[in-house]
Chain A
Amino acid sequence: MGKVVLVTGVARQLGGRFVRRVQRDPDVERVIGVDAVPPGHHLGGAEFVQADIRQSAIGRVLAQTRADTVVHLDVTGTPLGSGSRASVKETNVIGTMQLLGACQKSPTVRRLVVKSSTNVYGSAPRDPAVCTETTAPKSLPSGGFAKDAVEVEGYVRGFARRRPDVSVTVLRFANILGPAADTPLASYFGLPVLPTVFGYDPRLQFVHEDDVIEVLRVCADEPRRGTLNSGTFNIAGDGVLLLSQCSRRLGRPTVPLLLPAVTWAGSLVRTLGMTDFAPEQIRLLTHGRVVDTTQMRETLGFRPKYSTAGAFADFARGRGAGLLPPEALAGAVDRIAELSLRGSGHLPTQSAN
């Protein structure tokens, strides 16, 4: 008998993609997608159950479907459609509590995978440059999605203690990017001119959507030989990009603003309800955050296909040219090189390649 996989948060791009992917696995018999709203995209023939995980109905769904693997992807920072921050927080925290309560009662659940975020480390100048899974953040995030994620992880740890027979995996994803990503950072990079914090050049790490789907599949499955897929893992692409590098590679000019002005403008924008430019987002774009992925490689045995730079390049391709396309700048420099070499009376044998 094959596995029965229950996935929450399938109305989002990522959940939908994961459902479509996991169905193709040979040992998966049935996939049940759960969300409060029907998804706008197709689920590739998977069953969809419209249930709000904040309600106890999720327990009935779990009992009826006799799911043995639960993949909890409904831990997100942004509302789907026109939701408020309060409802997002409720889905994250109360939803997780309800889901874990249902899992605790269910005799069939063998495996739980929870999507978390490297936001749990916060972003502070006093943190070590590279966070490992055991690094305790110096300043805990005081609100927003980061705090939700910290609380969700706390409940998941409690569940793991109470049900030691269930294999529990928490995946802390770095900023997820991809051609179809709808994260706050992706919409930030979509701005024609990027506001930055003057005097800070944060280090950022990205993980590609394809790798996210792949690592979720690895964790929802039985562990491969010589690997262990329960525990907490940082998931990020190799390497680091600075925000200045990102803006240059995207070809979008930056406007450095003083930190107080950025904070003030952020709260103004939030009050007006234009975008959800959260304080934690500002902190990330000020101090940056880099996580260690040794555990991901060695314990989980997962190697991401995209590096940080690769994920960003793929994202940039899907975005179109900015105001200052890097190709145009490079061409301009090449022309200067050619002119100056000719001007100095030498043949341009090999200009700046």
Chain B
Amino acid sequence: MADAKVIPFDDDRSRGSRSAGSRRRTGAAESAPAGEGAVGEVQSLPVRGAAAQEPAPEPPEPPGPEESTAARPTAEGSGGADGGEDGGLERRLASGLSFLRRRLTGDYEVDDFGYDAELTDQVLMSLLRPVYEKYFRVEVKGVENIPAEGGALIVANHSGTLPLDGLMMQVAVHDHHPAGRHLRLLAADLVFVLPVVNELARKLGHTLACAEDAERLLAQGELVGVMPEGFKGIGKPFGERYKLQRFGRGGFVSTALRQGAPIVPCSIVGAEEIYPMIGNSKTLARLLGFPYFPLTPTFPWLGPLGAVPLPTKWTIQFGEPIPTDGYAPEAAEDPVLMFNLTDQVREQIQHTLYKLLVQRRSVFF
């Protein structure tokens, strides 16, 4: 975006602080001292960055197109090193059939929220992955900022008329995090009213954005994703792109404080341009019961064809975690602290957004 006026781009300082942050972290990144240097230079190649994270002693592989396909089975956890071609095919067939068998007989487990881990891993993620890899060509940075275990709250900006950014963030965490963590997104209540959408959302592990659910998930040690801008962010006009809206009432901060879970700010660039919303038909929105009804250069005019998102190039950057475990238990009730922390998270996301925008060569490449 050319009209971003803030150019606070101090390359060395920002990089230094980021690597300092990862050094401070305890856990997976510490085992890979070589990965540390790689984080700085490998940034533009997300697949390679992820590969460098996983096995520390292995020499860095040459980047190539086969790598993205090779990384997939390990990410899915469907098996280690395959033998021959035939053996792999046979095993995949067998595992596919046993998957089918379990599904048909109902012999699988879901958690209290309706999260169907097996279906998500085997089917839903494979459907989202082409969109993620081929269509939006998402580049992930700073995935090492997400803790390898324990509860954490990822707070991201929200944009794009349809909540594709949440889904892409889920794929990013799932495919790139060395511990293969699953992101549990908090979604608007509208999601759980709509048929089909609510069913898929529950199976993908999403739940209603309310303090009770968020706290329960964090208490279980899950990774929770939230987009506090809500409909204000996702349904803002194109002219206000990359301008963060108000972060609700900062409920996410008190939830994180109560559970002592770190807050990981996340900035998503590229989602703003998938449906440039140039108008909002309030009448239609009221009629359908939606918070807004987008009018884009293509959308209602070209029918379903207009609903195809523009193939923008995305970048998802996870920032340095903000710890919340150092506060007193009553801190969660302190509104001043709430607003301060909310602003800190918001500023960090906004700052990173501007930085990524300056680095971006083009919207589509």
Listed in ascending order, the chain A residues whose CB lies under 8 Å from chain B are 125-130, 132, 135, 197-201, 203, 239-242, 244-249, 259, 287-288, 290, 326-327, 329-330, 333-334, 336-337, 340-341, 344, 346, 350-353
Contact = CB atoms under 8 A, between A and B. Distances in A.
B199 A201 contact: yes
Contacts, number: 118
A242 B195 contact: no
Q: Which 9 A-B pairs have the closest CB atoms?
A: A199-B195, A248-B106, A352-B98, A326-B105, A125-B192, A199-B196, A128-B212, A245-B106, A249-B106
Given A199-B195, A249-B105, 15 more contacts: A126-B192, A128-B210, A129-B216, A198-B195, A203-B110, A203-B113, A240-B112, A242-B110, A242-B116, A249-B106, A326-B106, A329-B104, A336-B97, A337-B97, A352-B97
B94 A337 contact: yes
A128 B114 contact: no
Contact of B112 (A127, A290, A334, A350): A290
B255 interface: no
13 contacts: A125-B193, A125-B208, A126-B208, A129-B207, A130-B112, A199-B198, A200-B198, A239-B112, A244-B106, A245-B108, A326-B106, A330-B104, A351-B94
A129 B112 contact: yes
A193 to B, nearest CB: 16
Contacts of B103: 248
Given A333-B97, A333-B100, A248 B105 contact: yes
B90 A128 contact: no
Given A203-B202, A346-B90, A129 B101 contact: no
B109 interface: yes
Contacts of B89: 344
B10 interface: no
Interface of B: 86, 89-90, 93-95, 97-98, 100-101, 103-114, 116, 189, 192-199, 202-203, 207-208, 210, 212-213, 216
Contacts of A247: 106
A340 B93 CA distance: 9
Contact of A353 (B98, B107, B109): B98
B41 to A, nearest CB: 43
Contacts of A351: 94, 97
Contacts of B213: 128-130
Contacts of B95: 352
Contacts of B100: 333
Contacts of A198: 195-196
A341 B94 contact: yes
A197 to B, nearest CB: 8
Most buried by A among B106, B107, B199, B207: B106
A333 B110 contact: no
A37 B194 CA distance: 46
A290 B208 CA distance: 14
Contact of B101 (A200, A287, A290, A330): A330
Contact of A333 (B101, B108, B196, B203): B101
A248 B106 CA distance: 5
Contacts of B196: 198-199
B335 to A, nearest CB: 23
Contact of A130 (B109, B113, B195, B197): B113
A56 B93 CA distance: 70
A121 to B, nearest CB: 12
Contacts of B86: 344, 346
A135 B199 CA distance: 23
A105 B359 CA distance: 80
A344 B93 CA distance: 11
